[in-house]
Amino acid sequence: MISKLVKFFLFTRIPKTVLTLYILLGLLSTLTSIYSSMLSAPRFYVQENFHRSFAYDPSQTFYNSFTIIYTSIILILPLLNPRFGLLTKSDIDFLLQLPLSQKQITISLTISSTLINLLLFYILLPIYANYGDLLASIEIIVLLSLLTRSLPILVYKFTRIQRALLIIILLLWFNSGILGLPISPLLALYSRQQESLIILAIFTITVTILSIYRFNLSQFINMYEGPKEIIIIKNNISFKNLHPFLAFLKRNLLILELGGRAYTAFGVPTFLTKRIEIWKILPVTIVIALTLAIFSKYHIIPDLFLTRIFLVLSALSIASLFTSSIFIMEPIWLYATIFSPLRLARYLLFSKALTVIILLLPFTFLFPDPRTILMVLLNIPSFIIFSMAINARFYPQRQQQIPTLSLGSFLASILILIPIALLMTIYIIPSSLITFTIASVIYSAILALPIMLSQAYWKKTIEKNIIYSS
């Protein structure tokens, strides 16, 4: 019966074609990693030489730091709202009618969720194994796939303060590898210190067992409480005697629309947008930039190379809040009767890109080097324009919609990840200012110009969004 439930959870969330695609990509990633490990053995180093590797091999440092930071973020994301995403309201109604124990239901959920996570993690195997040990990379991927599904099941009853404390502990535990401390599980990728990997395995198995025996489906259903109040922004905004572009820009500068994934009462993944005044977000970017500046000045972040990694990741994280919300709350059918598709796209995208520049200005004030200024004023806006255009065309969203893995979402993710990787490479890898400037201009031109000049692209995109929102 458990096997049937696992199959049910899998195929109600992922189409067979997409599942097959991810399996093939996982196999390709495994073969690529094996071939890479055969060409060159991993270069191990002891913890006291971790920071010295920055000076001798910046590319190795980038991979080491990036994998540690990225993995720790993946680990804590499910804890921000621990409603695991494979359980819908219809699933619950169906499960309650079956002669199954809660233990069997939880085991089925854990197995199906872990299998999906495993497929997604395995695509990243070459990144883990590039400078690390292949066997340790596979072990960590398997353990993290299980942990990221079991941990939310265990802590769904935690209060926000308890979850916040757990998140801080996990972040300190995993990111301690950047400082070369032997307690980080990810340090096992780049050193011969395997004790931390054993600790991770024990922790994961313990969490999994506890999640199976302590989960209560009835209590889980009854725990949800709706929002106590709904705050609606009703400030009047006057657009009289304004050029249409200035009208869009004025609205974006007063009220921002942020988009992202969230979870409903029963753990159903959905896409939501939130309207918020810009003055509530700007202090957050100031605090982030100021924290990075202080950490860099007092060598808490040990050198410039790692500072740049944190800087570009912070800027991209803030900017990415805008990439999925385009058109989701716009009256596209009304705009389409006033503007041509290309003109409408230019007004919307350029106004949002300028808004992002304003939000990221604290980074240019606190890090006034040409690289950061060019990144904020040119590269990030170009990336925003490209990402919003790709999402609008291949992965349009609606409020309260259940996002599922599909070919469109996969294509959008790949197309957006490529410029992220290129931007990080351009910004982080040492080069002369002239080389960096030329690379930045070429990067931005390739991303933004084709999007902003194609009438046919936006005609089809606007038509698709009008149909999709109806």
Is the predicted pLDDT of residue 446 greater than 80, yes or no? yes
Nearest 5°: phi and psi at 191?
Answer: -145, 175
Structure-model confidence comparison of residues 50 and 341, the more confident one = 341
Q: How confident is the model at residue 37 (pLDDT cuts 50, 70, 90)?
A: low
Is the predicted pLDDT of residue 235 greater than 90, yes or no? no
What pLDDT is recorded for position 449?
92
Average pLDDT score over residue span 413-433: 84
Q: Where is 273: in which H helix or E strand?
A: strand 269-277
Q: Which stretch of 101-110, 323-332, 414-423, 444-453 has the lowest confidence by average pLDDT? A: 323-332
What pLDDT is recorded for position 229?
44
Average pLDDT score over residue span 425-437: 86
Q: Where is 270: in which H helix or E strand?
A: strand 269-277
What pLDDT is recorded for position 399?
54
Q: How confident is the model at residue 54 (pLDDT cuts 50, 70, 90)?
A: very low
Q: How confident is the model at residue 378 (pLDDT cuts 50, 70, 90)?
A: very high
What pLDDT is recorded for position 322?
73
Distance of alpha carbon 30 from its chain centroid, rounded? 23
Q: Flag whether the pTM goes above 0.85.
A: no
What pLDDT is recorded for position 228?
44
Q: How confident is the model at residue 39 (pLDDT cuts 50, 70, 90)?
A: low
270 strand-pairing partners: 262
Average pLDDT score over residue span 165-189: 79
% of the chain residues with pLDDT over 90: 7
pLDDT in tens, 83-126: 544 455 666 677 777 777 777 877 887 787 778 777 777 777 77
- Rounded to whole angstroms, the Cα distance separating 386 from 353 reads 10
Structure-model confidence comparison of residues 409 and 432, the more confident one = 432
Q: pLDDT averaged over the chain?
A: 74
Burial class from Cβ neighbours inside 10 Å (0-12, 13-18, 19+) for residue 150 reads buried
Q: Is residue 324 within 8 Å of residue 397, measured between CB atoms?
A: yes
Is the predicted pLDDT of residue 46 greater than 80, yes or no? no
Q: Which stretch of 53-67, 83-97, 188-202, 359-373 has the lowest confidence by average pLDDT? A: 53-67
H runs (alpha helix) in 367-453:
370-374, 380-394, 407-428, 433-453
What pLDDT is recorded for position 100?
75
Q: Is residue 396 within 8 Å of residue 464, measured between CB atoms?
A: yes
- Sequence-ordered list of residues with C-beta below 8 angstroms from that of 94, at least 6 positions apart, any chain: none
Range of 76-90, 253-267, 411-425, 449-463 with top mean pLDDT: 449-463
- Rounded to whole angstroms, the Cα distance separating 259 from 69 reads 23
Q: Where is 157: in which H helix or E strand?
A: none
Is the predicted pLDDT of residue 350 greater than 50, yes or no? yes
What pLDDT is recorded for position 321?
72
What pLDDT is recorded for position 467?
66
pLDDT in tens, 277-317: 777 888 888 888 888 888 788 776 666 766 777 778 778 77
**Dihedral sign computed on CA atoms, order 270, 140, 19, 325:** positive
For 38-101, give the DSSP string: HHS------GGGTTHHHHH-HHHHHHHHHHHHHHHHHHHHHHHS---TT--HHHHHHHTTSS--
% of the chain residues with pLDDT over 70: 69
What pLDDT is recorded for position 206?
92
Structure-model confidence comparison of residues 394 and 259, the more confident one = 394
Average pLDDT score over residue span 255-277: 56
Is the predicted pLDDT of residue 179 greater than 60, yes or no? yes
